[in-house]
A and B are shown apart, each in its own frame.
Chain A
Amino acid sequence: MKRRKFSENEGGRVRPPFAIEAGRLLLWRLALLALCLTLPSFAFGQARFHRALRPQPPDSRAENEPQDPAAVALIKLMLSQQAAYAGEQVTERGGRLSRQEVRGLKGRLRMDFIEPPDLAGDVMLITHSQYRYYHKNTNVLDIALWPTHLNMGGQEKRIADAIRQKRIAVQKVGEEIVAGRNAAIVQLQGGGRFGAGRRFQSKFWIDKETGVKLGMELSGPRGLVSRSYFTRITIGPAARVSPKDFSPAFLQGAQTNPLFPPQAKQLRTVAEARPLLPFTPLEPATLPPGFRLAAVWVFPGPPQSRPEASSVLLRYSEGVTSFVLYERPARANGRAFGNRGEGRSIQRWQADSPSGPLDITYIGHLAPEQARAVRDSLR
């Protein structure tokens, strides 16, 4: 049998020495193409590939990198500012807008809501040791007296500790003029500067002269969450802010509503809360990176009340931002329901606990998949 040579011409076509069927030829080409595409990129990144597969120790270089001293000084100035100021602030969140007349003096803050119409006339008062919110429509005054660690002194220490331990990364990222004032922009990032993935971050526009907070932005994994900024402001004696502004007379006639009544107990762990509740609270087995349980509040309800009058609030924080889970037994005549408002910052659903179904309310700004992971891991 005559063996064909490579150069042999059959009907105008040159045939290779090893003839391959058309289908197999296609497969060979595909395999070659796959190799061409994958091998170079694999080779380029081989070192990183191995690195990504193995758990890595913390980046010691990053850990040793100092915080931005200018940013730390500005945060210090903002937290300790004592100046008197007055102006108008605009707040945007979730496509909604609010306007407030704001007054500040020696760490005290008063906001008179102008917009939206339903909030017009409401007043929020924040001082070192308490929070008050006057609902004009109902003439109700919400009051929260801070436990010592939650008052402003305690918060300053908490923030200073978090900055020192680098749980909050601070950085000055620019300067801008806000409402006619020179502001430095300081960015705070929770969960550490060098953690994986996108984190929550806040930006503060701080008046360089007085430390007054002229604006702030909170961003989450999905982008901007909220923004507040002064549109006009007067700082100093010309602001005409008096200590009396923080004890307005109209609060005297309001019906008070203690948000954290004396019988409410603040605890550190869910285990401590269990014996105090007539139901078994649930806690998430999975938390987003950087978050940890910050506090547990138990609200036992009035004596001899039904179990559903009791509730528990779990607050998780990663330094810059936090989310809250609020649990109480489902009402006996209530209808069961699935998750409502999935993807929103406020969600409610029912979950089974060993003591029966619970109504769970989530309030926070986690990414939808993170919020879902929290919900699905409740045990």
Chain B
Amino acid sequence: MYHTDTNDNRECAQMRLLLSDYLDDTLSARQVWNVEKHLAACAECAALCRRMQATVRLLQAAPRFDTSDNFMAKLHARLDSVEPERPLSRSRLTALRDGWAALVETLRQRPAPALSLGFALTALVALLLLPHGGAVKPSDLPLPPSRPTSAPVPIAAESLRRSVALAAANPLDDPAAANLEAHAALEDAAAVNTDAAPN
């Protein structure tokens, strides 16, 4: 039978839409016959079918477990329980009670920190009760650990480009985001005219 290129493409497109169902064995006998006839004649679609089959086999090899009858009910119940609380205008007393309940629960689950908290509170009470030499000036307090200055980073462009390429090779990564980040780092590097040089 004679086919034009357009007809071939159209047939390929139609058959590829059926491939997934074909592999899942959910097509009618006539559709199966049509798909198999096409696969016998079209090497590209046959190769695609083999690749899909290999993927399906891989994923089928993953262990499967039946869910219990009440799985959906339990799932919904759990999902309901993880719904974020709506910001209600609670009374102060309710907020205090909830806060206390949360603290008690945390203390129950984490005894070691609770022990430390107990000692810390004791020390705090002792500090409040015991007389001391004078008020502590802000300048006497230790400084909080300061975040290092975020100086722009000079980076070898090549390493960044490789890192974007590696992100592109990973279907679970986001190459657009990796590229944006690499671009930002190079921009920073250019801005300070640093000593970085490509590899």
Contacts and interface: CB of A to CB of B under 8 A. Distances in A.
A116 B179 CA distance: 11
A363 B184 contact: no
A122 B169 CA distance: 18
B183 A119 contact: yes
Interface string B160-199: 1111111011111111110111111101000000011101
B191 to A, nearest CB: 12
A202 B179 CA distance: 18
A161 B64 CA distance: 14
B122 A34 contact: yes
Chain A's interface size range is 35 or more
Contacts of A92: 177
**Chain A interface mostly:** mixed
Given A91-B176, A133-B164, A164 B61 contact: yes
Interface string A256-278: 01011000000000000000000
Nearest to A157: B58
A106 B55 CA distance: 14
Contacts, number: 230
A93 B177 contact: yes
Interface string A130-156: 010100000000101010001111011
Interface stretch (A11-19, A247-255, A282-290, A315-323): A315-323
A79 B62 contact: no
Chain B's interface size range is 35 or more
B151 interface: yes
Contacts of A153: 51, 54
A133 B182 CA distance: 13
A42 B177 contact: no
Contact of B199 (A91, A131, A311): A311
Given A26-B129, A100-B176, A341 B111 contact: no
B60 to A, nearest CB: 9
A340 B161 contact: no
B35 to A, nearest CB: 15
A42 B114 contact: yes
B75 to A, nearest CB: 9
B63 interface: yes
A344 B153 contact: yes
B73 interface: no
Nearest to A102: B176
Given A66-B63, A131-B165, A363-B159, A341 B172 contact: no
A142 B165 contact: yes
Given A124-B179, A218-B174, A341-B150, A326 B111 contact: no
Contact of B122 (A30, A44, A144): A30
Interface in B63-110: 63-65, 67, 107-110
B159 A361 contact: yes
Contacts of A160: 55, 58-59, 61-62
B165 A260 contact: yes
Contact of B177 (A218, A328, A331): A218
Contacts of B64: 66, 69
Given A144-B165, A155-B169, A322-B166, 5 more contacts: A79-B55, A133-B164, A151-B169, A226-B177, A322-B170
The 5 closest A-B pairs by CB, nearest first: A45-B111, A38-B118, A41-B114, A226-B177, A341-B153
